[in-house]
Structure 1
Amino acid sequence: MAQRLKPKNDFLFKRLFGETESKNLLISLLNAILHPADDKKIIDVTVIDNKELVKEVIDGKSGRLDVRCETEDNEQIDLEVQIERDHAMDKRTLFYLSKLFVGSIKEGHDYDLLKKTITINILDFNYLPLDHFHNTFHLYDDGNKEFMLTDIFEIHFLECLKFRAMQHDLNNPLHRWLLFLDEKVTEQQLEELMTMDSTIKTAEERLQRLSCDEETLRLYEAREEAFIEYNSGMSAARRAGLREGIEIGEKNGEKKGIQKGIQQGKQDGKAEGKQEVARNMLALGLDIEAIVKCTGLTIDELDKLK
């Protein structure tokens, strides 16, 4: 198989699923992720198509390229692929979900017009301390986990590394899509996926067409280079932090060593002073018990001094 572009590159992912002409691919992917009942399946969506991908976003290390749409039921969905590890994905997700939710009505309108907001994160790293690769979150009561306050918020985390490590079921549409998105998929697996699922065949054909488009390829490579620069910068920062930590540790260790030496010296000096006083008192023939009370030395220690 010729070199296949990475579908999880967020720019390429947006070109694959985030345009009106490819909304049938997006609908299929969303139904696989959300797994609604047959009578609730997404039939149509309106893609919020933003083609103004400025250079700062493509070349930026933190530019956000997401796929947004609204369903026929006025539910708004935000779908994002995250390749680089973000230790605040929970807060990041809630931030963007809140912005979408609040922005779904105009000021002064009735709260009943607020739209159900769903955010989906496809992560190329492990994030949650949970075993399952797909986890969904709602608002439940702490005391009664069966009671949901409202389903107006819904958050999905899909962790690709956990999925890759498990047994795959090609009869499961979500498994088929995640295998399609995996840059490590083999030619044989891809052929099997396309034979089983005509929508994935369409997606692979679109991926190949985009791979031949010079402008798409240029922006794809620019995005890949931005990730490489980001990783390189993070590695350099970690190395610099490690060196600085070692230097600070050594200085602190040296300082503590000096302080400990001074303290030990004081203690030794006090001990020697007590012994000298005890010797003088012994030489004067003073009572042993009196010397013990005066110096704090034990009778055994006084015997050694004799």
Structure 2
Amino acid sequence: MAGSKKSKAKQTPTDDRFLMSPKVDFVFKLIFGDEKNKDLLVAFLSAVLGVPAEDFEGIEIINNELLREFAEDRKGILDVRIKMKQGKQIDIEIQILPTEFMPERTMFYWSKMYTSQVKPGDTYSKLKKCITINIVDFKCTPLQKLYSSYHLTEDETGYRLTDIIEVHFLEIVKLADLSIPRDENDRIVEWMEFLDAKSKGVIEMLAEKNKDIKKAYDLLQIISKDEKARMLYDAREAELRDQLTRIETAVNRGKAEGKAEGKAEGKAEGKLEAARNAVKKGLSLEDIAEITDLPLEIVQKLKAELSN
């Protein structure tokens, strides 16, 4: 019996049925943030940005970890930054935990990426286009779209003031909303479905249609069987669950406190309304204060307000 348990424990990390979720930032990094898998990164970027894969020739992964400058960044955000030969920079973030002020946060980090290109004495000609791609597992926009892109344009004419800024949101949580229109053959949708896939069957169907997803799937299977990677994955998932639990606890606590506060406010307002009616009926102020359990000063103030 003991030997059987030991054997089962050894097989778990390499269990063929087990597959890591590619939307967990740790796994996303192994697939798209590794120099050895640069072709997969190019395929993904080509789909999202709508440009030929040839345009990414000679790209360099210059940073694949987010510098966590604020407490809220502990929520687990992966940052993969790419530099193209022309000097353009692309920043990819994947975030599966709800984050407040995501658009504002995006613009803050975009601005840091943009301004970091110049040093004292440089001219504005040194500034190159910066692109941010946000892959999120929560709703960031009210749009009935799975993905959206943003530029700096004039309100009425749509004239693009400059091409230096480009922001993309891929809201994978919206895949569950079947009322949102989509093209199942759209390469962006295919990559989003790959990231959100909850079974091997789904990924295998995508792999049959898309050779790049097939390669990503093959890599994912190798990663999922690696014992060290599995330990790191389990630890990352535990951390994310802990963070999500803290978020939910805080939200529930806030709701409970708000409900209690609402009850207290309702009870106080009820006392005031009863006191107003009693004043109108001519009861003595002392009796009203005793009946409603309100301070005499409050009852006197109510009478003065009703007399005006």
Q: Name the TM tier (shorter chain).
A: 0.7 to 0.9
Cα 1:155/1:227, change in 2 over 3 Å: same
1:256 corresponds to which of 260, 264, 269: 269
Secondary structure in 2 matching 1:120: strand
Counterpart residue number, 2:43 = 28
Partners of 2:140 and 2:53 in 1: CA distance: 33
Q: Which moved more, 1:15-24 or 1:198-207?
A: 198-207
Amino acid at match of 2:167: I
Counterpart residue number, 1:151 = 163
* Residue 39 (structure 1) shift: 8.9
Cα 1:270/1:190, change in 2 over 3 Å: closer
Counterpart residue number, 2:249 = 236
1:4·1:183 contact (CA, 8 Å) conserved in 2? no
Partners of 1:172 and 1:108 in 2: CA distance: 45
Q: Deviations over 1:143-180 (max 9, x none)?
A: 321x1010100000111133453576454322332222
Secondary structure in 2 matching 1:41: helix
Cα 1:269/1:182, change in 2 over 3 Å: same
Stretches of 4+ moved more than 6 A in 1? 51-54
Unpaired stretches in structure 2, ≥5 consecutive residues = 1-15, 285-308
2:151·2:167 contact (CA, 8 Å) conserved in 1? yes
2:146·2:182 contact (CA, 8 Å) conserved in 1? no
> Aligned residue pairs: how many?
265
Amino acid at match of 2:168: H
Amino acid at match of 2:129: K
Partners of 1:86 and 1:204 in 2: CA distance: 28
Partners of 2:196 and 2:268 in 1: CA distance: 52
Is residue 110 of structure 2 the alignment partner of residue 97 of structure 1? Answer: yes
Residue pairs, 1:1-306, within 5 angstroms: 2-36=17-51, 38=52, 41-50=55-64, 61-145=74-158, 147-164=159-176, 165=178, 169=183, 171-187=185-201, 189-269=202-282
Cα 1:254/1:179, change in 2 over 3 Å: closer
Cα 1:53/1:15, change in 2 over 3 Å: farther
Q: Deviations over 1:18-71 (max 9, x none)?
A: 1111111000000000002x49732331012447999xx9xx842431111111
Amino acid at match of 1:135: S
Unpaired stretches in structure 1, ≥5 consecutive residues = 272-306
Partners of 1:110 and 1:259 in 2: CA distance: 67
Partners of 1:209 and 1:264 in 2: CA distance: 76
* Residue 118 (structure 1) shift: 0.2
Partners of 1:171 and 1:41 in 2: CA distance: 22
Counterpart residue number, 1:285 = none
Q: RMSD over aligned Cα, in angstroms?
A: 2.7
Partners of 1:88 and 1:142 in 2: CA distance: 23
Q: Which moved more, 1:12-21 or 1:165-174?
A: 165-174
Which has the higher Rg, Structure 1 or Structure 2?
1
2:80·2:92 contact (CA, 8 Å) conserved in 1? yes
Secondary structure in 2 matching 1:132: coil
Partners of 2:194 and 2:167 in 1: CA distance: 22
Partners of 2:66 and 2:162 in 1: CA distance: 35
Partners of 1:81 and 1:134 in 2: CA distance: 14
2:21·2:198 contact (CA, 8 Å) conserved in 1? no
Secondary structure in 1 matching 2:108: helix
Q: TM-score, normalised by structure 2?
A: 0.77
Amino acid at match of 2:160: M
Q: Deviations over 1:171-217 (max 9, x none)?
A: 43223322221222551x43343333332222112112222233322
Q: TM-score, normalised by structure 1?
A: 0.78
Cα 1:42/1:50, change in 2 over 3 Å: closer
Amino acid at match of 1:26: L
Partners of 1:196 and 1:252 in 2: CA distance: 59
Q: Deviations over 1:104-129 (max 9, x none)?
A: 12222111111210000111122211
Partners of 2:227 and 2:62 in 1: CA distance: 24
